Amino acid sequence: MYADKSIGAVILAAGKSSRADGRVNKVYRELAGSAVLNHSLTCFVESGIIDQLVVVFNGNDAELLRERVVKGFNCEVPLEAVPGGKRRQDSSWAGLNKVDTNYVFVHDGARPNFSFRLLKDLLDKAISCGASYPGLKPVDTVRRLEGGFSGETVDRDKLVRVQTPQCFEYDLLYDAIEKSIEEGNYYTDDAGAVMNVAKVKPVVVPGERGNIKLTTNEDFAVVEKFLRGDEG
């Protein structure tokens, strides 16, 4: 419980890892002494604010989930696993239907490095405004690409790189995704559904440099340094 509110977390782990050692789903690969997915689960549990955990997994990975994650994961927070769908939004929907809390985080299992402070900041904003997500402003110059040639420079002060976990009032997110599915509209993240369907603008909380989504093998080396405290 947090501020008399029940809090759930849906962790999405139903991908195929086509760009990071496709032989094994990247969330089950070892990173800093533990499976990638375990780092996210541990952070949620040790934050002390989570009442329910749901892992959405690829149906082909049931044995990996059981042996590398669930088998050695002991905590007082209820943990449930549910198969995901073809697209990210389908997996979010599957996870939400297993949650029974006032507020819910939705997180990409391939982002193993985030802080307790970030969770609290996101939750505080979601309780106040209904929805929040972490974002980082780009530091590089950004230009449009036009047929392989350089286009105009984009004002980076008006851009943000979206991260997870994202946090929502449960009914708000549930209704937004349900309606988007009914209408045949799919969004690349949960905040997109809330913005476009519910017309609610999430609060953007400052993101974290080490909250990297593991996409390539090189990412593993970078994130491991963060987890071991070798990065400033």
pLDDT at 231: 67
**Domains of the chain, each with CATH number or no CATH:** 7-226 (3.90.550.10)
Separation between Cα atoms, residue 6 and residue 64, nearest integer Å: 30
Sign (positive or negative) of CA dihedral 135, 141, 147, 151:
positive
Number of Cβ within 10 Å of residue 227's Cβ equals: 16
> Could you read off the pLDDT tens digit of each residue along the chain, which spans 232 residues?
899 999 999 999 998 755 455 578 899 999 999 999 999 999 999 999 999 999 999 999 999 999 999 887 878 899 999 999 999 999 999 999 999 999 999 999 999 999 999 999 999 999 999 999 999 999 999 999 999 999 999 999 999 999 999 999 999 999 999 999 999 999 999 999 999 999 999 999 999 999 999 999 899 999 999 998 876 5
pLDDT at 71: 85
DSSP letters spanning 120-149? HHHHHHHHHHSEEEEEE---S-EEEEETTE
What SS3 state is found at 33? coil
DSSP conformational letter for 59 = G
What SS3 state is found at 210? coil
Cis upstream peptide for 83 (omega within 30°):
no
Separation between Cα atoms, residue 58 and residue 117, nearest integer Å: 30
Adjacent-strand bridge partners of 2: 5
Sign (positive or negative) of CA dihedral 202, 171, 122, 185:
negative
* pTM value > 0.85: yes
